[in-house]
Amino acid sequence: MGKTLTEKVIEEHLVDGKSERGTDISIKIDQTLTQDATGTMAYLQFEAIGISHIQTELSVSYVDHNTLQTDFKNPDDHRYLQSIAAKYGLYFSRPGNGICHQLHLERFARPGKTLLGSDSHTPTGGGVGMIAIGAGGLDVAAAMAGESFHLKMPKVVNVLLTGKLPDFVAAKDVILEVLRRIGVKGAVNKVLEYTGPGIKTLSVPERGTITNMGTETGATTSIFPSDDITKEFLVSQERGDQWVLLEPDEDAVYDETIEINLSELVPLVATPHSPGNIKTVKEIEGLKVDQVCIGSCTNSTLRDLKISANILKGKTVNEHTVLTVSPGSRQVVDHMITSGEMAYLIEAGARILENACGPCIGMGLAPKTDAVTLRTFNRNFLGRSGTKSAQAYLVSPETAAVSAIHGKITDPRSFGKFPEIIMPEKFMVNDNMIIPPKAGQESIEIVRGPNIKPLPEFNPLPNKLEGELLLKVEDDITTDHIMPAGAKILPLRSNIPEISKFVFNLVDSTFPERSLEKNGGFIVGGENYGQGSSREHAAIAPKYLGLKAVIVKSFARIHLANLVNFGIVPLTFANTDDYAKVEQGDNLEIDLTTIESGNVALKNLSKGTEINLTHSLSVTEINVLKAGGKLPFIKQKHS
């Protein structure tokens, strides 16, 4: 029986377990990446482990999220990150150099390697044939210390592509079509593996767009083969020697198959407030647009900006619409300036932003009250833009650029002739904004600003948990609901006491105060609790407030792991109908003495009832919980 590409790469890196679907495995991690919103905490955790030097083949610290410097906090964190990189042997990508996933694809991603990143869109690396997985910062810190990464062996879904994309239909529409079919939780504990003749029509940047936003399906990761298209890309980036041929066996057996004929796709749009709310652009055409944003780690490549610029050439952005453009890297900017195409954007009226995440995470450029904002980003969660009343729509660069001209959502196929663009055979390679590791730096002093606070201490897990049900929420609660981002909150990522004041700010602003007053308690949620970002602050900040357990119908993968990492017990209803049997304010008691059996009893002391709970935790995860979290668990191993 033949093997999938996913199986081949995972089996090459297996440390524990067998590649049998649903079983617990651990894999060796070759590379890691962090960004500054999650990295500061990750490196505080790495320091606490006590390892003198990174144990991976390559680790990179990027600065791309917190680049809006309204006071000392962000620049202080950047200096901390730079000193950490120098001391422990990491590459450091300086502020303004570009977005981590775009840069990693250009400069470091390698076929057949494993990559763990403290950002949920790390699967971008799957565009060159990596197993690239997003995780919490503590998991990344552990990987840098030489620990293997634990996960359940995922099912592998064959996304079989045929045909070729028509003009004005883009790679973004491919992943929007996948989301239209399976939704935001249809690929939980699965890998989306792309095959078929259609993949030969997609460049590596286009493949990266698809694997990047595959995260929104709940997938563990997404992956394309490493083929002649991959080789061409790596050669153009002066990394041809890193190419290897990696493909699934012809008789590979997949758990599921999704067939997509690229030739039949049309421009699509994700409507508010979920990447899974998919419609055709035609269905909502004519809606007035106040803001258009082109960029993000999903759509800031040279190809994306060239298409946008050539659509806008000789045109002017509608007088009622603001257009912003965020290039993904300095390499992209260099090419756009050299070719003269940057001038097309400027002359059309686009506001050219820094090579950073920017408005995607609410870091500046928030839209006006009740705005319709059209974005080439990957998420349109409520309030993520920085304006709670705004309506965010996700589209391709083609749809965004044409809509910016008309001032309303417009099917780009009405534009006329599709612009021809010329991609370079060789990219301009200039790594002068990436500081490589140097030998003999162990004596470097770590720079810590006043906003960087010590990690909280967490105690071992008791046998019984008691407390109040502090909050009951519905399905699809995101990490943006739990721990919002944005210009006000992101700079507090290294200060847990301060950032904890904003937990569930979009849902119930009284939650932090009530949690502290009640000495912590419980949360109950619906399906897919914790979808979205890898931000571990959505676990560690509630833990600081005293959160003891989260009881839901189902969890998103990364958030479940983060809860375990910080000693919060993640439990699910054995019968989802029991969700209705608890109410906010109830006093609950959970007996954990039977947790090894997979079943746990929940007593509702307010109602005098008992509910059966279960979990999907491995033996290792249970031991991590008992130790109080992953950091004390690792310390026990090394003591």
Rounded CA separation 612/447 (Å)? 49
Rounded CA separation 381/509 (Å)? 18
- The reply to whether 156 falls in a domain is yes
Name which of 340, 356, 312 is nearest 102 in CA terms: 356
- Give yes or no for a contact between 638 and 49, defined as CB atoms under 8 angstroms apart: yes
Name which of 137, 119, 73 is nearest 495 in CA terms: 73
Position 637 scores a pLDDT of: 72
Q: In terms of domains, do 341 and 476 share one? A: no
Catalytic residues: 64-65, 119, 379, 533, 535
- Give yes or no for a contact between 532 and 478, defined as CB atoms under 8 angstroms apart: yes
Q: In terms of domains, do 172 and 68 share one? A: yes
Position 187 scores a pLDDT of: 96
- The reply to whether 456 falls in a domain is no
Last residue of a domain, one of 234, 264, 294: 264
Query: Residue 479 contacts by C-beta under 8 Å, 6 or more apart in sequence?
Result: 530, 531, 532, 533, 534, 535, 538, 559
Three-state SS sequence of 601-621 = EEEECCCCEEEEEECCCCHHH
Rounded CA separation 145/89 (Å)? 12
Query: Residue 621 contacts by C-beta under 8 Å, 6 or more apart in sequence?
Result: 150, 564
Rounded CA separation 324/212 (Å)? 21
Q: In terms of domains, do 326 and 354 share one? A: yes
> Is residue 163 left, alpha or beta, with left meaning phi > 0 and alpha meaning psi from -120 to 50?
left
Split into its structural domains, the chain has a count of 3
Strands 291-294 and 372-375: parallel
Query: Residue 416 contacts by C-beta under 8 Å, 6 or more apart in sequence?
Result: none
Last residue of a domain, one of 347, 380, 413: 413
Position 368 scores a pLDDT of: 96
- Give yes or no for a contact between 467 and 548, defined as CB atoms under 8 angstroms apart: yes
List, in sequence order, every residue forming a beta bridge with 571; answer none if it has no partner. Answer: 551
Strand order in the sheet with 256-261: 221-223, 190-195, 155-162, 256-261
**DSSP letters for 66-100:** S---SSSHHHHHHHHHHHHHHHHT-EEEPTTSB-H
Q: In terms of domains, do 232 and 275 share one? A: no
Residue 443 CA from chain centroid, whole number: 34
Q: In terms of domains, do 257 and 273 share one? A: no
Q: Please report where in the chains the tokens 């680049």 appear, as a residue.
A: 67
- The reply to whether 442 falls in a domain is no
Rounded CA separation 268/278 (Å)? 7
**Secondary structure class of 312 (helix, strand, coil):** helix
Amino acid at 544: Y
- The reply to whether 64 falls in a domain is yes
Name which of 236, 361, 213 is nearest 303 in CA terms: 236
Q: In terms of domains, do 260 and 289 share one? A: no
C-alpha separations of 157 from 187, 192, 224, 254, 384 in Å = 8, 5, 12, 6, 30
Q: In terms of domains, do 188 and 326 share one? A: no
Strands 24-27 and 14-16: antiparallel
Q: CB 273: neighbour CB atoms within 10 A?
A: 18
Q: In terms of domains, do 329 and 367 share one? A: yes
Rounded CA separation 375/269 (Å)? 10
Last residue of a domain, one of 238, 264, 290: 264
* 430-461 tens-digit pLDDT: 999 999 999 888 889 999 999 998 888 888 99
Name which of 401, 186, 428 is nearest 305 in CA terms: 401
Q: In terms of domains, do 80 and 214 share one? A: yes
C-alpha separations of 273 from 381, 382, 478, 554 in Å = 5, 6, 11, 20
For residue 117 the two structure tokens come to 């990143």
Q: In terms of domains, do 132 and 257 share one? A: yes
Q: Strands (DSSP E) along 444-586, which ranges?
A: 464-472, 521-524, 547-552, 569-573
C-alpha separations of 531 from 125, 410, 558, 633 in Å = 20, 30, 8, 26
CATH of residue 337: 3.30.499.10
Q: In terms of domains, do 538 and 622 share one? A: yes
C-alpha separations of 65 from 100, 363, 460 in Å = 9, 8, 33
Position 635 scores a pLDDT of: 79
- The reply to whether 76 falls in a domain is yes
Query: Residue ranges of the chain with pLDDT lower than 50?
Result: none
- Give yes or no for a contact between 538 and 482, defined as CB atoms under 8 angstroms apart: yes
Domain range spanning residue 616?
A: 464-638
**Secondary structure class of 8 (helix, strand, coil):** helix
Three-state SS sequence of 349-364 = CCEECCCCCHHHHCCC
Q: In terms of domains, do 104 and 215 share one? A: yes
- The reply to whether 458 falls in a domain is no
- The reply to whether 119 falls in a domain is yes
CATH of residue 578: 3.20.19.10
- The reply to whether 110 falls in a domain is yes
Q: What is the DSSP letter of 185?
A: T
Q: Is the dihedral of CA 21, 25, 28, 32 positive or negative?
A: positive
* 88-115 tens-digit pLDDT: 999 999 999 999 999 999 999 999 999 9
